[in-house]
């Protein structure tokens, strides 16, 4: 049987149907529904040929070329679909819910699959993604200067049953000039948005959601502006930590990274750090004086943080005194501070 399925039914948290994306590998890599499997009807080159034929000749000629290109592939498509969905129940989509998904649905149905074709295809899904960022959320933000342990506390809150969104994890970047850690590869902007909307969709909008205070940009990924505006107006719980505690935490996190990587990243913020301080920082890196290096660059990051903090309403900032390196104790302290401010939601 072949059915049509609306995007709201496909993405609801209780849905567990495997999704087959029959677009090209290039389209899939650029952006796809989280959890979907790529079962491309055409290769990147084949899709280009079909598109050219459609524009220069006719729809009928493009269809015939499509059958010529896929003629020997159909048994392989079915075998791959069986590996992905052994229960023989799948959802299928292409860009707009047109010929590619229709052809794949026909073949799978012929074999005995129950097939759900996404109405409007990936294009409709992308519209849904952007709508998620316009929705209102009950956000609490965790702030604090670089090295204060915001990410560790956020993750600990998640393990304690609180609702959290880890934007840096989604962006695969730590949010600074050194944020790739010389190993992280960021997703495309489109995939970042898809992954973020997926996580937001899993949460209860009637409960508080913890997020880390971030700039609009996390590396090459941009937080969608409607959501970022909500983050800026949300109550902020600011971690108060000793400067030396922050230095040691950052030395532990960044001190073992490749010196060439650290030097190149430092040189990229030369204009903001200043020529003299950049020179001192680069020398400290080469001489393996990691504490000195961290102290130098913190001057810039602390200044940037204070500037951002000054744009917030003072009455929406709540200090959280942090005296330990234990994220569990610090997360508990965060919850106590939040409870004093406003009753915590039930978990």
Please list the active-site residues: 94
Contact 259, 284 (CB under 8 A): no
Q: Distance between CA 165 and CA 245 in Å, rounded?
A: 25
Q: Distance between CA 208 and CA 190 in Å, rounded?
A: 26
Closest CA to 255 of 186, 182, 326, 172: 182
Which pair of structure tokens corresponds to residue 333? 């302290």
Q: Distance between CA 151 and CA 220 in Å, rounded?
A: 19
Q: Distance between CA 281 and CA 263 in Å, rounded?
A: 8
- B/e letters for 189-220, b = 16+ CB within 10 Å, e = fewer, are eebbbbbbbbbbbebeeeebbbbbbbeeebbe
Q: Distance between CA 189 and CA 196 in Å, rounded?
A: 11
Contact 236, 141 (CB under 8 A): yes
Q: What are phi and psi of 118, to 5 degrees?
A: -70, 115
Give, in order, the Cα–Cα distances in Å from 321 to each of 119, 262, 263, 324, 331: 51, 31, 33, 9, 11
Give, in order, the Cα–Cα distances in Å from 19 to each of 88, 176, 194, 223: 12, 35, 15, 26
Contact 238, 320 (CB under 8 A): yes
Contact 213, 165 (CB under 8 A): no
* Coil/strand/helix, residue 37: strand
Which pair of structure tokens corresponds to residue 73? 């592939």
Contact 286, 267 (CB under 8 A): no
């Amino acid at each position: 049987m072949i059915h049509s399925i609306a995007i709201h039914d496909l993405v609801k948290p209780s849905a567990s149907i495997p999704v087959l994306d029959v677009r090209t590998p290039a389209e899939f890599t650029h952006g796809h529904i989280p959890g979907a499997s790529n079962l491309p009807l055409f290769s990147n080159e084949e899709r280009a040929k079909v598109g050219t034929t459609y524009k220069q000749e006719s729809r009928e000629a493009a269809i015939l070329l499509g059958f010529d290109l896929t003629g020997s592939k159909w048994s392989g498509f079915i075998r791959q679909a069986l590996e992905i969905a052994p229960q023989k129940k799948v959802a299928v989509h292409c860009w707009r819910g047109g010929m590619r998904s229709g052809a794949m649905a026909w073949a799978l149905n012929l074999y005995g699959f129950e097939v759900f074709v996404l109405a409007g295809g990936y294009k409709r899904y992308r519209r849904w993604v952007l709508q998620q960022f316009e929705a209102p959320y009950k956000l609490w933000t965790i702030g604090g200067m670089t090295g204060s342990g915001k990410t560790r506390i956020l993750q600990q809150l998640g393990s304690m049953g609180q609702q959290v969104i880890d934007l840096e994890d989604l962006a695969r970047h730590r949010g600074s000039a050194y944020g790739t850690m010389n190993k992280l590869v960021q997703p495309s902007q489109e995939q970042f948005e898809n992954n973020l909307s997926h996580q937001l969709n899993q949460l209860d909008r009637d409960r508080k959601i913890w997020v880390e205070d971030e700039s609009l940009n996390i590396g090459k990924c941009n937080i969608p502006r409607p959501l970022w505006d909500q983050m800026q107006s949300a109550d902020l719980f600011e971690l108060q930590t000793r400067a030396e505690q922050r230095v040691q935490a950052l030395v532990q996190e960044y001190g073992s990274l490749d010196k060439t990587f650290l030097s190149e990243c430092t040189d990229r913020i030369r204009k903001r750090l200043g020529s003299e301080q950049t020179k001192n920082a680069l020398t400290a890196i080469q001489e393996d004086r990691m504490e000195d290096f961290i102290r130098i660059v913190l001057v810039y990051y602390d200044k940037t943080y204070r500037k951002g903090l000054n744009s917030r309403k003072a009455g929406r900032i709540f200090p959280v005194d942090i005296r330990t390196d234990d994220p569990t104790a610090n997360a508990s302290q965060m919850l106590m501070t939040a409870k004093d401010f406003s009753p915590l939601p039930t978990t």
